[in-house]
Amino acid sequence: MEKVAEYLKIERAQEWRAELRKSLKAKERTSRERVHMLERDPDVRNKNIDEVNLGLTEDLALLEAQRCLDCPNPTCISGCPVGINIPKFIKKIDAHDYLGAAVVLKETNALPAVCGRVCPQEKQCENNCFYTISLKKPAVAIGHLERFAADFERDSGKVAIPEVAESNGIKVAVIGSGPAGLSAAGDLRKFGYDVTVFEALHEIGGVLKYGIPEFRLPNEIVDVEINVMREMGVKFKTNFIVGKTASIDDLKAQGFEAFFIGSGAGLPRFMNIQGENFNGIFSSNEYLTRVNLMHAANSEYDTPVLSGKNVAVIGGGNTAMDSVRTAKRLGADRAMIIYRRSEQEMPARLEEVKHAKEEGIEFMTLHNPVEYFADENGRVNKARIQKMELGEPDASGRRRPYPIPDSEFDIEVDTVVVSVGVSPNPIIPSSIPELKMTDWGTIVVEKDTMQSSIPELFAGGDIVRGGATVILAMGDGRKAAAGMHKYLQEKVKK
């Protein structure tokens, strides 16, 4: 850590940054209002899959970059799971060196255009910004600026390929090509390893492709970042399920010396209530996969989806918001969130809730389904809903919901999307019986190195956390890559 602090200090002392700091008085910087990102009109966007957020213009980005004080002690960085040198990239923007800003981002972040879109910055870097902590003012829009730099680079056609150390010839495998896997693969490649990423689906990207909808994260953006990794020399193998197509031992026999498991959150949870298996009731994973990965809403593609007029999405997380906003875009007259706690306890990002409301999504908070009914063809046509009230805080710190007796009533639904969480994917763990697991089916790891109970196996993301965010998974991937590097270098010495 001291090394990092020292490095940041040296970087900050560079002449160009000192000059920039002097160019505008701190008071002038802090007196500015935080800029707003442009958004598509809610009544237009809720009928198509175009991206909702439109990014910052160059002028807006410059104004915002000037707000950053380039603090001597940049607390914002401590809030970033992948440790981006935030003041440096913002000051690069301030200095009109947008491509340079993108290079800074890519020093520690394999997917800046993705993170600029889907990270909960308000809980991370921006929550640790000097403006938030000391000035009690809106934070520097770090996320918006990250997106600006990444988008500028992509649109410029001059995408920088991060430097890679000389190949050391050591083969490592990354299992799963979601945010955890991509982040680990990027860093491992930078260290000089021969990296192969194995992916079970036919597309690279994991949850970035099958889960997060086009209107929040266009697939094209993900592909550009994946191409950068290909250019760096990362190999990808799709349609390959480690633990099924081949075992870890098979891969060892092929010369792979260490493994990063980032296989994600496999199993969708259901509520186990009557009628939950009727047609028209989906897990959010299935609903979103059909639409995002399989393009079910596009008639040129073969995969169908049941798009209803009255759609209820059960849950209050980001995935629930993604599902309900997708339902609206597929033509639902009524698309509603049914959540058992109040809006205050919702785990979804504020921005997603705000966008959903603007788009005409109904919110039934303090409600919970207890049973479903179907028509003669087995298609769901009614949900029985119970009213809830909040009691004392539970283990999660949120107030526990309790059902109100005799408060049930029925609503008409023809589609229900159950978005109440996921369990870790059991395929890999079940193929390695000696791997130490928790009671929740997650892999036990040493938290600084992400090393599992089997020395050559490392893990991160939802298979360790059970259900988290893109950026936490990416942070795990970076930590694991560093842990693997240390492990392999020590092994080579012996």
Partner 1 sequence: MPALKIIDIKKMNKIVEKEFFSENVAKIVIEAPEIAVSRKPGHFVIIRIDEKGERIPLTIASSDSEKGTITLVVQKVGVTSAKLLALEEGGFINDVVGPLGKATHIEKVGTVLCAGGGVGVAPLLPIVEGFKKAGNRVITVLAARSKDLVILEEQMREFSDEVIIMTDDGSYGKKGLVTYGMEDVINREKVNLSVVIGPAIMMKFAALTTKKYNIKTYASLNTIMVDGTGMCGACRITVGGKTKFVCVDGPEFDAHEVDFNLMLSRLGAYREQEMKAYENYLKTVQ
Q: Which is nearer to partner 1, 53 or 196 (CB)?
A: 196
Q: How far apart are CA 179 and CA 435, in angstroms?
A: 23
* 3-state SS assignment for residue 274: strand
User: Which range binds partner 1 by CB under 8 A, 93-101, 222-230, 283-291, 315-323?
Assistant: 283-291
Q: Does 282 interact with partner 1 (rule: CB under 8 A)?
A: yes
Shortest Cβ distance from residue 266 to partner 1 (Å)? Answer: 5
Q: How far apart are CA 386 and CA 369, in angstroms?
A: 6
Shortest Cβ distance from residue 357 to partner 1 (Å)? Answer: 28
Shortest Cβ distance from residue 205 to partner 1 (Å)? Answer: 14
User: Which range binds partner 1 by CB under 8 A, 81-89, 197-205, 359-367, 436-444?
Assistant: 197-205
For residue 338, count other CB atoms closer than 10 A to its CB.
25
* Interface residue with partner 1, options 9, 47, 96, 202 (CB under 8 A): 202
* Interface residue with partner 1, options 27, 136, 166, 272 (CB under 8 A): 272
Q: Does 426 interact with partner 1 (rule: CB under 8 A)?
A: yes
* Interface residue with partner 1, options 81, 181, 213, 268 (CB under 8 A): 268
Q: Which is nearer to partner 1, 273 or 364 (CB)?
A: 273
- Contact string 209-248 vs partner 1 (x = CB under 8 A): -x------------------------x-xxxxx--xxxx-
* Interface residue with partner 1, options 179, 181, 205, 266 (CB under 8 A): 266
Specify burial of residue 4 (Cβ count, 10 A radius: 0-12, 13-18, 19+).
exposed
For residue 244, count other CB atoms closer than 10 A to its CB.
11
Q: What values do phi and psi take at 9, rounded to 5?
A: -65, -45
For 152-172, the three-class secondary structure string (H helix, E strand, C coil) is: HHHHHCCCCCCCCCCCCCCEE
User: Which range binds partner 1 by CB under 8 A, 65-73, 198-206, 223-231, 402-410?
Assistant: 198-206
Q: How far apart are CA 426 and CA 259, in angstroms?
A: 17
Maximum C-alpha span of the chain: 75
Q: How far apart are CA 316 and CA 349, in angstroms?
A: 10
The structure tokens 């086009």 sit at 214
Q: Does 442 interact with partner 1 (rule: CB under 8 A)?
A: no
Q: Does 369 interact with partner 1 (rule: CB under 8 A)?
A: no
Q: Does 26 interact with partner 1 (rule: CB under 8 A)?
A: no
Q: Does 274 interact with partner 1 (rule: CB under 8 A)?
A: no
Q: How far apart are CA 379 and CA 6, in angstroms?
A: 63
Any long-range contacts for 37-45 (C-beta under 8 Å, 24+ apart)? Answer: 37/141, 37/144, 39/355, 42/355, 42/358, 42/359, 42/360, 43/360, 45/215, 45/359
**In angstroms, how far is the first alpha carbon of the chain from the final one?**
27
Q: Does 250 interact with partner 1 (rule: CB under 8 A)?
A: yes
User: Which range binds partner 1 by CB under 8 A, 4-12, 24-32, 105-113, 292-300?
Assistant: 292-300
* Interface residue with partner 1, options 73, 254, 407, 489 (CB under 8 A): 254
User: Which range binds partner 1 by CB under 8 A, 60-68, 120-128, 199-207, 334-342?
Assistant: 199-207
Q: How far apart are CA 349 and CA 354, in angstroms?
A: 9
| The pairing of beta strand 399-403 with beta strand 380-393 | antiparallel
Q: Does 320 interact with partner 1 (rule: CB under 8 A)?
A: no
User: Which range binds partner 1 by CB under 8 A, 88-96, 212-220, 299-307, 449-457?
Assistant: 299-307
Are the beta carbons of 304 and 279 closer than 8 angstroms? no
* Interface residue with partner 1, options 27, 41, 59, 377 (CB under 8 A): 377
Closest CA to 199 of 168, 229, 164, 169: 229
Q: Does 178 interact with partner 1 (rule: CB under 8 A)?
A: no
Q: What values do phi and psi take at 237, rounded to 5?
A: -130, 110
Q: Does 277 interact with partner 1 (rule: CB under 8 A)?
A: yes
Q: Does 169 interact with partner 1 (rule: CB under 8 A)?
A: no
Q: Does 427 interact with partner 1 (rule: CB under 8 A)?
A: yes
Q: Does 306 interact with partner 1 (rule: CB under 8 A)?
A: yes
Shortest Cβ distance from residue 289 to partner 1 (Å)? Answer: 5
The structure tokens 């392999």 sit at 488
Strands (E), 153-307: 171-175, 194-198, 235-237, 256-261, 267-268, 281-283
Distance of CA 392 to the CA centre of its chain: 30
Q: Does 30 interact with partner 1 (rule: CB under 8 A)?
A: no
* Interface residue with partner 1, options 200, 320, 335, 488 (CB under 8 A): 200
* Interface residue with partner 1, options 45, 144, 290, 465 (CB under 8 A): 290
Q: Does 409 interact with partner 1 (rule: CB under 8 A)?
A: no
DSSP line for 172-193? EEEE--SHHHHHHHHHHHHTT-
The footprint of partner 1 (CB under 8 A) covers 196, 200-202, 210, 235, 237-241, 244-247, 250-251, 253-254, 264, 266-268, 270, 272, 276-280, 282-283, 285-286, 289-290, 294-295, 300-304, 306, 377-379, 425-427
